[in-house]
Structure 1
Amino acid sequence: MKHKVWIKPDDIVFEVDSLQTLLSAAQEQGVSLPYRCKLGACMTCLCKKIEGEVEYRLEPMLTQQEQQQGWILPCQAYAKSHLVLMLEE
């Protein structure tokens, strides 16, 4: 299943298949997101989820509080719905 992802504040939109991470889908479609390790350890890709739902195949390197505040790691996150994300500048 495919979902749309909107990146704010730049209003970038791309699609992600439920079998790929947000980062890999963005890269395939020429959308530049910050990243370094692709393992979730460096936290370079950290961004805020404004709307939608994600899941992880492995436990993310985020505290429960960070997850409740909406922080996600696109290099490890899979979309379960359409998403609106905020990249910190």
Structure 2
Amino acid sequence: MSYKVTLLPSQQQFEVSEGQTILEAALQCGVQIPSRCKVGVCTTCLCKKSQGDVHYQLEPMLTQKEQEQGWIFPCLAYAKSHLILILDE
């Protein structure tokens, strides 16, 4: 199963397959999401989820409030549905 990810405001889209992090899928499709460490430490890839659901194998270093506000780490997040992500907030 795969899900469509849309990045705002650029409207870029790519598919993420089961077992791929959102960042891995983006890079494989040639879509640039700012990243550095790829393990959720540097916060470079931090973005806001506008729509959709994600899950993590390892819980990210985000507070409950940050998660409720929609913040995610694409380097650690796996899609559970189609997603809309905001990169420039």
Shorter-chain TM-score tier: over 0.9
What is the rounded CA distance, in whole Å, between the counterparts of 2:29 and 2:87 in structure 1?
A: 18
What is the rounded CA distance, in whole Å, between the counterparts of 2:18 and 2:65 in structure 1?
A: 25
Identity %: 61
> Which residue does 2:65 correspond to in 1?
65
Q: CA deviation at 1:88?
A: 1.4
Q: CA deviation at 1:65?
A: 0.6
CA RMSD of aligned residues (A): 0.7
Instruction: Please identify runs of 4+ aligned residues in structure 1 that moved more than 4 A.
Output: none
Residues 5-43 of structure 1: CA deviation (Å, up to 9, x unaligned): 000000000000021000000000000000010010110
What is the letter of the counterpart of residue 51 of structure 1? Q
| Structure 2 stretches lacking a partner, 5+ long | none
> Which residue does 1:74 correspond to in 2?
74
In the superposition, the TM-score normalised over structure 2's length comes to 0.98
| Structure 1 stretches lacking a partner, 5+ long | none
In the superposition, the TM-score normalised over structure 1's length comes to 0.98
